[in-house]
Amino acid sequence: MIESVKIRRQCMLDFYSHYEHLCALEGSVPLKAVKANVTQGALDIIVDRIKAADWVPILNAIRPNKTLISIGIRSFHQQSLGESGVERYKTYFRRRIPAIRSKDLTGQLCKALKCCLSISDVLKKLELQGLLLRERDLMLLTKGLATASSLQSVSLAHCPIGDGGLETICQSIKNSATIRYVNFTGCNLTWRGAEHIANVLKHQAMKRHGEAWAESLRYRRPDLDYMTGLRRITFNCNMLVGDGGASAFADCLGEDLWLKALDLQQCGISNEGARSLLDALQTNTTLVVLDIRKNPLVDHVMMKNVIERVLMNGTSANSEYMWLTSPSSKDALKTRPKKRTIVLGSGRKGKATIRIGLTSKKSVSPGGKQASVKDSYSPKPLPPGTKGFLPWRTAERAKRCSFWYYLIFDFIAQCNAVNSPVKVTVEGASTSETGDTEDLDDVIHHPDLAKSSDKINVTRNKQLQLELEECIEKFKEEQRARVKAEERVMELETENARLRNLNISLSEILRAQSVTNMILEDESVLGSIENSFQKFHAFLDFLKDAGLGQLAVLAGIDQSDFGLLGHPSMNST
């Protein structure tokens, strides 16, 4: 066999070795991001900084691969709303447009994914995030999804495909035998997109009803959990779905027996849409997650009723379908770097601060906002001449870092001795947002540690007492309900015994009536037979009186038979 063919066949079973081989052929350096998760059988890369030349070996390695379990292609690039056309190049800092935003490269990526989906037997998860997919790309992706034999999860989060693109994707999802989870978060969808997904659910429900009927033959019980079809749909951050989309979902949820989770966070739903979903839950007993949080037009009472009704269907804590904690649509594609600071105190040269982690982009001026004395540890400076006094310049020259670390370790030991909790807050990269809790400093409070711990203990004790009282009240209610239930059971048992005795007595009466009827019927039959014989003997006597007794002799009738039964002396006269 040719050596190149051997290498190609071996590389089909090992993604990273194939990728390195292709990089060697192209004369490029393998990217570290590609190698990061390959050991777990997953390819998860952020593509905003990958150049067009580096994409060639990646796509050629994805196309024939049969070993990857998960493929994730993510882009966090966001074009500013105020920058368009020529104005984009007038900014002070020019942002580069990633190569993945080009039309040709997205087409090549979808072609590679289509080939991988059609030949792979182990690929279970496909995640494309923040990519600009055109109609041609979606058609290629749809063909790959239709031929996939092991794919279970498809995510197109923050890909602006719109309702038309979703309709194209649904053509392959509705006939798929393996896809169980779809994620269309932030895809610019409206109520028409919700109708497309609802039509998919109805199509799959009709198909699965037929399978359930076939499996129920010969007294078998169909297993609904092992049937094909969607189990979770994530539709978050699509503000134009509204009440029309909620009504479309409610129409198909009323009689659905397979969907387990539906996420509708930030979908512009009001009380009307929530009420339609609540009405659908009156007949649906399989849905364990219906998330309509972060919809400000739904009031608290309605949301509480929907969540309580969903939780009655089953404990989602023990289920594989958990409630999502997704970020908002604005913060989903960017993360802010954070820093952590420890304020140790203030001396003659001002406040000393140690910064841990990432630094802020904006430098804080020395005269900026300082923490209050009550919220920071500020030891009193020793006067010159006393024991332990050390000039600040000498401390700086004599390895100031070791001195500060000594103070930190000493403070930690004091905290452990008092057994008081340490308050930790997080400060964001921007210092302009003062109202957010993420923009606070990590301050370690030293004074009044015992008082703070006592206050915390008091509040905890109060909370525990309140919880105990609630538990006692619930226990008493359950006891009362149990007593009522036992009384009701006793009443039902006595009523059952009375009905049983009445049934036995009625059955005995019916049996006695049947016996008497039989006796009366037998007596009537005997009476009719006796009357017939009397009439016959009277006829014979009449023949004898008429002188026709010889006819009876010829017939073989004895003379003793001429007398009537029981009256031998009687004659016809």
User: In the chain, pLDDT over 90 holds for what percent of residues?
Assistant: 42
pLDDT digits (tens, 9 = 90+) for 406-416: 555 555 555 55
Higher pLDDT, 261 or 41: 261
As beta bridge partners, residue 564 has 567
- Residues 6 or more apart whose CB falls under 8 angstroms from that of 122 comprise 41, 66, 67, 68, 69, 150
Least confident of 188-192, 221-225, 509-513: 221-225
Q: What is the pLDDT of residue 485?
A: 92
Decide: 327 and 334 in contact? Cβ < 8 Å: no
Tokens of residue 49, six digits: 């900084």
Q: What is the pLDDT of residue 143?
A: 94
Among 168, 102, 109, residue whose Cα is nearest residue 132: 102
421 confidence band (pLDDT: 50, 70, 90): very low
Decide: 475 and 467 in contact? Cβ < 8 Å: no
Tokens of residue 200, six digits: 């998919």
520 confidence band (pLDDT: 50, 70, 90): confident
pLDDT digits (tens, 9 = 90+) for 61-82: 999 999 999 999 999 987 654 4
Q: What is the pLDDT of residue 408?
A: 55
The residue-averaged pLDDT of 125-139 equals: 95
Q: What is the pLDDT of residue 463?
A: 84
The residue-averaged pLDDT of 30-51 equals: 86
Give helix then strand counts, H and E, for the chain: 15, 11
Provide the residue type at 174 as one letter. Answer: K
Check whether 98 has a pLDDT greater than 80.
Answer: yes
How far apart CA 341 and CA 446 sit, in angstroms, is: 15
How far apart CA 58 and CA 455 sit, in angstroms, is: 59
223 confidence band (pLDDT: 50, 70, 90): low
Q: What is the pLDDT of residue 515?
A: 79
Q: What is the pLDDT of residue 445?
A: 40
Between the ranges 14-18, 138-142, 442-446, 545-549, where is the mean pLDDT highest? 138-142
224 confidence band (pLDDT: 50, 70, 90): low
Among 197, 189, 115, 136, residue whose Cα is nearest residue 159: 189
pLDDT digits (tens, 9 = 90+) for 423-478: 444 344 343 433 433 443 343 344 454 555 667 778 888 888 888 988 999 999 99
Find the helix or strand (DSSP H, E) in which 367 lies. Answer: none
Among 318, 315, 211, residue whose Cα is nearest residue 257: 211
Q: What is the pLDDT of residue 376?
A: 43
pLDDT digits (tens, 9 = 90+) for 329-367: 445 444 444 445 554 444 444 544 555 444 444 444 444
Strand order of the sheet with strand 338-347?
Answer: 350-357, 338-347, 427-428
Helix, strand or coil, per DSSP, at residue 175: coil
Among 101, 45, 99, residue whose Cα is nearest residue 73: 45
DSSP 122: S
Decide: 436 and 421 in contact? Cβ < 8 Å: no
SS (H, E, C) 45-104: EECCCCCHHHHHHHHHHHCCCCCCCEEEEECCCCCCCCCCHHHHHHCCCCCCCCHHHCHH
Q: How far is CA 463 from CA 78, 97, 452, 471, in A?
A: 46, 54, 16, 12
With vertex at residue 184, the alpha carbon angle to CA 181 and CA 189, rounded to the nearest 5 degrees, is 145
Check whether 305 has a pLDDT greater than 80.
Answer: yes
Contacts 24+ apart (CB under 8 A), 84-93: none
Check whether 569 has a pLDDT greater than 80.
Answer: no
Q: What is the pLDDT of residue 198?
A: 95
The residue-averaged pLDDT of 262-286 equals: 94
Q: What is the pLDDT of residue 169?
A: 95
Q: What is the pLDDT of residue 432?
A: 41
The residue-averaged pLDDT of 149-171 equals: 95
393 confidence band (pLDDT: 50, 70, 90): low
Higher pLDDT, 539 or 405: 539
